[in-house]
Structure formats: C-alpha cells, structure tokens
Structure 1
Amino acid sequence: MVGFGLRLKTHFTWLPRVVELVFTVREWRNVNHHEAHALMGYFSSPFRSALVLSYDGGGNDGVFNVFLAQGMGLCGQELWRIARKPLNLGYLAEQGEQGVGYHRLASYLPQVTGASEIGIAACAALEKVSTLSCILRAYPQKVYGEDAEGDWINLKYNFGDSLALTFAGKLMGYSGLAQPSEEAGCVSFGRTHGSGILADQVPRAMLEKICESEFGCQTAVPSIPASCLTHQNCKVMTEYLDELVRNKISVEGIVITGGCALNVIVNQLIRDTLTEATSEQPNLSKPQEVYVPPAPNDSGLTVGGIWSVSPPTGARQKLQYLGFRLWDVEALDATAHERGARRLSELGGVDFLAQLLADPEGKRPILAVVRGRQEFGPRALGHRSLLAVPDSRKLRDRMNRLKFRQWYRPVAPMIAEEALEEVFGHRYLSPSMEFAPKVREEVLERFPALAHFDGTARHQSVSRGDEPWVLVAALARRS
C-alpha cells in the first residue's frame, strides 16, 4: 500500500479488510509515496544511474523529493533519497503543496473552470478592496482593520478533487496563448519565499490582470508556470547536479516523476538546459537525457509499489500499452455486423488507413482508432485515439469540438522518429508525450495545426520499437 499522507490516511485501515474479503494476503507492506514514484520512474527508464525528481500535490513523505539511483552490477540496483524539500508551486507557501497553485489560480478563471460566476465574484472582491484603498487615502486617520492596499487579497473558492484534477492540463494549454505578465509573475513568485502567506490569499497584481480583460487573463496565467515552477525546479536540480559533480558522482540521466511531471513546459526546459540533449558536442559534465515515465502521476504508483518488493531484472520493460483490454470484445463482432462494418485487413490494412488520412482530394477525415490494450497512463498514444492530418488550423478546432474541449486546448502530433530532427531541429524522443519543444517555422507553414499557439508541440514520437502499426501511418503521411 502506497502512502498518501493525512488526506487519505484512513485507507490504511479499511483497504486491507476489503482486499482480504477476496484474497489471502500473507504480508502487507507500506511504501512511501514518492519512493514508489521514483522506483517506477527509474526502473522503467533506460538509465543505469540517474538523478530522480519526484514532486506532486503531496504524499506521506512530502511534496518534493530527490533520489540518487545507481546500478550496482551483480549486486543489483539501489535507490537513495538524498533530499526532501517543502518546495511548492506559486503562492501556497504555508500549505507546501506542489502543484496546488495551478488549482488555486485556475479557480478564478471561468475560461478554465466553466464557472463564470466565480470570475465575477473574484473581480467584485478586487473592486471592494480598491474602494477601501481610495477611502484610506482620503481619510488616513480612520482605521479599517487590515491593510486594503496590500499586495494580497483574501479570497477562497473550493472545487472538488474530481473537478480540480482537470484544471492543470487546461491551464497549461491556456498559458500558451500569450507571454507572461512581468508584474503578476514577479509578485506571485517573490512573495512565495519571503514572508508567510495565508492559504486564502491571492496576489493582487495577478487578480487585477485577470479582471482587466480577456487578454489580461491570458498574460496572467503563464506567470505561474513560467516564473515560478520552471525556473525554481531548474535551479534546485542544478544545485543537486553540481553537488554530485563535487562528490565525483556521475549519472547517465535525469528522471522526472510524480503528478507535476505532466508539466511538459518544465520538462522541456530541464531537458534543454541541464542535459546533453541539445549539445552539439558531448558534454561529460551533464547527464545524457531526461526520462519521464508513461504514468508519472498516481496511476503509476501500483507499479512502483510492486517494484519496491520485487525490482525488475534484465531489459527494461516498455509500459506504454499495458492498460486494459477491450471491455466489450465479446460483443464486437455482432455490433460490427449489425452496422455493416468491414475489417480493416480486407480494405488493405494500415496502409489503407494512411491513404484515407492523407486523401489527395483534401477530404480529410477524423478517424477513431481502438486497438489492442489501452495506454498505461493519462496520454492517448494511438490505441485509444482520434487521428487526423494537421495541415489546417480548422482541424484543431474540429478536433476540440468533437471532444467537447475548450477552443484553446492543444492537439498532440504523432511524429515518426525519423522525422524528429526535421520537425524540431533536434531528435527529441517523447514516446509518451512528455515534452513540448518548439516546432521549426517551415514545418508550421505546412502543418499549422501541429503546434500550440506558442509554437510548441506536445508530441508523441513513434519508433518501430514503440508501435510499428502507428509508425506506418506517420511515415506514409510524411512521404
């Protein structure tokens, strides 16, 4: 059983009782939350040695943990926790919850939550404080209890966990619409590490931007990921890498895991600045690459828990397609016959599918693919996916409407490994959509829907080793 901290402490009491109604259990073992994340990330990585960062909204062992993982030859592989820090995202200094800042910021954005009344109430609170500020300036002898001209405003909205878990991905997509606001970013970051901040306080400068206009919202949102989490994590990771060098310890790579490892912006910056990924010449002072597992969030904890008891041996196992099989496979043939469906093999197989996607007459369809076992983790990687050719901006809008998503959400391109350098300028492997590099301008001219509004693409790189079936379609379109 993997620990979740005080929030889910009771599951250690009732979960064994439920399981033992069905199974005979010889022994129960408790595994630390971030240790399970780290084990899952390291043992699925291609590295013999790695610096492992695990960070998320919190577990029984904190919010931000760093591990050193090293292969020991015949003696096996070892993982050591070398640091635990109360590092958090945004302005929740006292709560110390990495990742909850996205939840808090998103709570005031109707574009993300869909709750317009929340935005109205937030701006009304700002107007009330601004009115008090005017009164204080006009009548300085009067005392109104608290400083209405402060940099922070008391404001709190709560959304349930099931809804709030969707905010981070939406907010990341929304943050690509504009450049960060320097004022909002400076306030939210500078006050985080200074004085103690109450959990219900919001940066005034950020709220002013949000209430200013639609464009103000767009400039306020990227301030958190751009100014806080990204540079903060890079700075901390640099310090630990430097410490390893001083102790004459080298690592092949960096592993990033935990729920916050789904932040492709941070992952990309760490990859570009702290590794050899973009180096023209070998740099022995840097790790070779960054690895993010297919399920870095809590859906991967079960694997980490198992590997804490029985670590894998031999070649690293690929995890992308180890999800559930089709739940209704028994009814599939009858349903297909009823609808007059034909087997793809009768029509020409995957080559027919590729030709259909790349229709030379311009009748570009959106095709749904369901095949084999589903993806392990939160990303759709070609086994439960909608496929289309991204040669028109209208395609992105069509895809979002079909999925009932907000207009600003990005779509993810599937790119053959052979074409990565052509698209990005570097061979950015990303088999589980872990990074977001910039797309070259000449490629964007041909495929405008391939990238997000900021010119980045959260891509899935496809190789023959990952998924040969999908690779055929990707290469066929490229040719």
Structure 2
Amino acid sequence: QSVISVYLGHDSSIAVSQNGRIQCVLELERLFNVRYFRPNIRLETQEYQNEWYRAMRAVERDCECEDGQKPAHFTDGIIVFAGDFECYQLFMRGMVGMIFNVERWHMVDHHEAHANLGYYASPFFLTPRTTLVVSYDTAGNDGSFNVYVASRGKLQRIAQLGYSLGNAYDLAGTLLPEVTGHPLEDFVNCSDPDVLNMSSGMKLVRIGAYHETASQKLSWAGKLMGYAAIGAARDDLRESVRFMFEECRAAVPGNAAVPANLVRTACESVEGQRAVAATLQSEFEHFLQTRLEAFLRFLGPGKVDSVVLTGGCALNVLTNQFVYDSLSSGKSGGVKDRDPDFFVPMAPNDSGLTVGGIWALFPPHSQQRLQYLGFPLWDRQVLAEQGRLRGARRLSKLGGVDYLAELLAGGAAWQRHPNRTADKPIIAVVRGRQEFGPRALGHRSLLAVPDSEEMRDRMNRLKARAWYRPVAPMVAEEALIQVFGRPVHSPYMTMAPQVLPEIQQRFPALAHLDGTARHQSVSNQDEPWVHALLLAVGRLTGLAALINTSFNSKGKPIVNRVVDCLQMLDELPDLDFVLIEDFLFRKRRAGAT
C-alpha cells in the first residue's frame, strides 16, 4: 500500500507513506522559501497549478523512501480539508494526477487529521490504556476545539466545542505593537471617547484591518508567548480575557472585536500592553486546564491514563507545561509525584495534517520516529565543489564532535581562529534530512554555549529578532535533572519547565525572562550525533547543553539550500562557522573573495 496526502491551507504540505510507514513530508514553505506558504488561490489557475506541479516534482525527485525507490504510483490519495476553498481541494486530484497515478481518493477532516497525528505519534496507541486527545486551534472545517477518546488504536470524537482560542489569542495580539510591528492605531482608535470612557457602556471594540493582516498574524502567537514574560498579569483584566476565550469563535471577516477594557488598557501605555499580554497567556493556560479537568471528571476518576494535546494552539509551550504540571500534581486528575503520560507531537500545527490524514485512514502498526523525515538539501550536488572553492575542512578529519565542542566552548581550536570577535562562536549545523515540524532539532540549527547574556543578544541580533524573544536550549537527557531538577522529556521542543536558579546564574542565555526554557531533550536514541556533541560540550563547560535555534534569516523558513547557508555565513557578522554535512566552512577573512 502506498499513500500520498496533501493539505492546501497555510503551512501546506505533502506526505508519502509506504506499507504503513511515513517516508517523507514536504513542507512547501521549505521549497518555496516563503514562511507559512500556501499556493496562492487568487492567482490565475495556470500559476496555481504550476506551484503544485513544482511541489509534486520535488516529491517525485527527492523523497527518500526506505526501499530505495522513488514514488510514482499510489494506491490511495488523501486531501485534508483546509476549511475553505473546497473547489480547489477537489481540483487537486487532477493536479496530483499530472505526475502520479492514484487509484482512489479520500477526504479527511481538519481536526480528525490533527487528532490522529497526535495519538499515533504518541507511544500510547500501542497500549490498552485510554487516552484523552484535545485538538484546538483557530479554525477547521470540523470545528476549532475538538475532544477525542482513544483506546486500543481506536479514536472517537466525544465533543466539538465552539471555542476558537487561537482566534482569541490573535485578536488580543492586535493590541500589542511590540508583537505585531504595527501601530496600535492600525487596529483601534485610541482617541475615540467611547473607547476611553469607562462609563460609556461600550463592551466590545471593533478591530480594524484584522483580516487584511492574515498572512502576518500567523507569526504573532509565538511572539506573544515570549512577550508575555515581560509584564505582570492583572486581576482587573482577567474577566475580559476569559470573556474573549468563552465567546470568540472561528474567524469571520468583519466580526473581529475585543473587550473595551483590554483596549483601554492597551491605549494607556506600553506597560498596559504588556499587562494585557501577561494576563492573556495566564488565562489561556487556566482556560484549557479547566476544560481538561471537566472532561476528566466527565469520563470518570481513573478512567483516563494519558493526555495528548494537538492542533496549532499546542505550540503554546507554556500551556503545555502548565497542563503537564497540573497532571503531575494531581490537580487535573493526574497521579501526583510521577511523570505524567502526556504528549504533544512534533508538528501539532497544520504542517502535520498530511501525516495525520494518512493515519486517520491507515493507522500505523508500530511507533515511528518522524522528526527527521523532511527533505535533504535541494542543491546538495554543489556542496563538494563549494567546499573545495572555499577551503572547507572535513570535520571527521579534525576530530568530529570533540573538535566541534572545543570550538563551541571557546577552546584552543577557537583561539587559533584569526577572525574571532567574541569569546565563543556561533555555529550553524546543517546535516541530513530536514526536520518535520516547525522546530529545528539539530539538523538545521544555530548552536552556541549559553554561558552569557551576550550570547543571547548575539543570537537574536543574528536572526534580527525582537529582544524579548527566547532562545531555546538543547539538553542531553543525562543533564535534565541538573538543569530542571526533574526529567522533563521534550524531544520536539514542546515543553517549557522552570530552570534551576543556579543554572540560570551560570548559563544565563539558557532561560527566558520568566526563567523557563523551551528545551529539546536529546537521548542517544533521538539523535546519536547531536547527543554525542552535547556530552562532549558538557565535558568542557560542565553542562551538556547548547543554545539551539532554527537556522533561518529574518522572515524566512528554516534553510534547506547550500547557497543560502553560505550566503548567511558571508553576510551575518555574528555567524562564525557553518557545518554542512561533514564540511566545516568558516567565515571568510575580510577582503577575501
């Protein structure tokens, strides 16, 4: 059996499965180099068709299947609903058919795909235990907040609630210029007397230009989550935020409004805006927890053994951690003082829908590691020649991960480097197939030792990011207790526990402003090469951890071209080396060509 699955919304993707195993996932943003890419349905039909044709050709040419063959024929094709433009989804069959022969076609609902990815990517489907799956985001053709119960490989929806927490979170984000990059006046009129007058009776304020910023607002939630650490939540704002979460539904053009109390607070000052952000994040966490508790009570004490969160809102790592901790403490019906059975998949957002669509119809028979099932470098054929022209050295001949660790730690290898401008370097690592999902997990990563505030500032400057954005660490499994005081496993960067104070003091770039770290835990089974590098770094610095953030330039997706890697090495002052496969490229000396 061979299956091709396609999703047409933002974060469009194509997935291929053979004999029950996922072979590759193409996230179209990585091919077209446009963040959150979706083929433009407003283009002429021929142009729209050409974009998909190019994507299908990439799958045909570069999908690395386990049997060594290239995909050509599929027994089944799947289209996952994007929630809109159904005519284009039907048209998709013909576009796939231009390249691949597909015997029969199926349609899968949006949240059904999210839920199936979450459940079957977890270890829970292999057990007879009962799993509660919550899939929540902004919108889908089958709702925006769905709840499922799964057991023995069977998944059943038990509720479809009207909440659109993703839409509410984004709407409140319009009040935060430091997040959106837009003046507040682009969305609300702060000089309107009715808005500012507490006694005016105005309950809601319409948000202007909200839907015109649709492509931009996809990045707001991640920024807002980091921004929330700056301010302090205010009790006088909580009721208004809860009202938003209770009443906000899936986005409808012309129907965007925010409680007047929040607008007034944002119009008052930057401090007010930061308080709105902090309150929003705090209430988001509590809102989900209370709904989760309600479903655990509904199903009965002790009836649920594990919990899965998925959908775009499951990218909110602070909420994931809040739920995890409440399960661990017993507050949400969990078992106190034990590691709770809790899981968030590597691609809970829409980039994971094509895999979930496959598993909705053809569930896997065994658990499969998916995090590195992206595509190899598009222009890998130029690597050897670029290495020769630029005098790159083979890492394997220099000493492998031990040499790289010595560089990162600022040891003798770095001290001999003629162009050094800092105590320790930043090194980009580009190895193997790209990650599947929105996080860089060591195959397309920027790495550095997190032992100074300067390193955090350099990393944010390199990526042209706002100062309040967190940098995430990768931590060897053996060092989790040393960093967090407990073993919080997070191989896909889906959690954010508090870092111990002594580690924050010694390694200040490891934690965010609120003391949390959205870490990637790495075991030898997860990624042997990265794990070995972390242990080598630990022998030199005293902590088997590195800053790990995605290797991409401002506003662009994670890199997947040799030429782009080398261009960033040449143009970004804070980037010192790029390791591409086994070739270690260093920054050219001033004046070199």
TM-superposed CA distance for 1:387, in Å, is 0.3
Q: What corresponds to 1:304 in structure 2? A: 356
TM-superposed CA distance for 1:207, in Å, is 1.9
CA distance in 1 between counterparts of 2:276 and 2:156 reads: 39
Alignment RMSD: 2.6
Q: What corresponds to 2:157 in structure 1? A: 81
Q: What corresponds to 1:199 in structure 2? A: 255
- Aligned partner (choices 365, 371, 386) of residue 313 of structure 1: 365
Question: CA contact under 8 A between 1:271 and 1:277: conserved in structure 2?
Answer: no
Question: Any residues of structure 2 matched to 1:179-190 within 5 Å, and which?
Answer: 179-190=232-243
**Higher strand proportion:** 2
CA distance in 2 between counterparts of 1:277 and 1:431 reads: 24
TM-superposed CA distance for 1:212, in Å, is 2.3
Match status 1:22 vs 2:99: yes
CA distance in 1 between counterparts of 2:462 and 2:340 reads: 40
- Aligned partner (choices 172, 189, 193) of residue 225 of structure 2: 172
- Aligned partner (choices 372, 385, 389) of residue 334 of structure 1: 385
CA distance in 2 between counterparts of 1:129 and 1:231 reads: 33
Question: CA contact under 8 A between 2:115 and 2:134: conserved in structure 1?
Answer: yes
Q: What corresponds to 1:40 in structure 2? A: 117
TM-superposed CA distance for 1:233, in Å, is 1.2
CA distance 1:375–1:354, change in 2 (3 Å)? same
TM-superposed CA distance for 1:37, in Å, is 1.0
**Cα offsets for 1:205-230 (capped at 9, x unmatched):** 22222222222221111222211x21
Q: What corresponds to 1:120 in structure 2? A: 185
- Aligned partner (choices 181, 206, 210) of residue 154 of structure 1: 206
CA distance 1:342–1:186, change in 2 (3 Å)? same
Query: Residue type of the partner of 1:404?
Result: A
The SS at the match of 2:192 is helix
TM-score, normalised on structure 2? 0.70
Question: CA contact under 8 A between 2:163 and 2:248: conserved in structure 1?
Answer: no
Question: CA contact under 8 A between 1:326 and 1:373: conserved in structure 2?
Answer: yes
CA distance 1:165–1:12, change in 2 (3 Å)? same
Question: CA contact under 8 A between 1:65 and 1:84: conserved in structure 2?
Answer: yes
CA distance in 2 between counterparts of 1:132 and 1:216 reads: 14
- Aligned partner (choices 394, 403, 416) of residue 352 of structure 1: 403
The SS at the match of 1:374 is coil
CA distance in 2 between counterparts of 1:367 and 1:318 reads: 26
Question: CA contact under 8 A between 1:278 and 1:426: conserved in structure 2?
Answer: no
TM-superposed CA distance for 1:393, in Å, is 0.9
Question: CA contact under 8 A between 1:65 and 1:85: conserved in structure 2?
Answer: yes
CA distance in 1 between counterparts of 2:260 and 2:516 reads: 30
Question: Any residues of structure 2 matched to 1:195-344 within 5 Å, and which?
Answer: 199-227=255-283, 229-245=284-300, 249-251=303-305, 253-275=306-328, 283=335, 288-314=340-366, 316-344=367-395
Question: CA contact under 8 A between 1:41 and 1:256: conserved in structure 2?
Answer: yes
Identity of aligned residues (%): 46
CA distance in 1 between counterparts of 2:331 and 2:170 reads: 33
CA distance in 1 between counterparts of 2:222 and 2:247 reads: 28
Question: CA contact under 8 A between 2:144 and 2:161: conserved in structure 1?
Answer: yes
Question: CA contact under 8 A between 1:254 and 1:287: conserved in structure 2?
Answer: no
TM-superposed CA distance for 1:449, in Å, is 0.9
CA distance 1:103–1:261, change in 2 (3 Å)? same
CA distance 1:126–1:151, change in 2 (3 Å)? farther
The SS at the match of 1:27 is strand
TM-superposed CA distance for 1:374, in Å, is 0.8
CA distance in 1 between counterparts of 2:109 and 2:185 reads: 42
- Aligned partner (choices 510, 515, 530) of residue 470 of structure 1: 530
TM-score, normalised on structure 1? 0.87
Question: CA contact under 8 A between 1:178 and 1:454: conserved in structure 2?
Answer: no
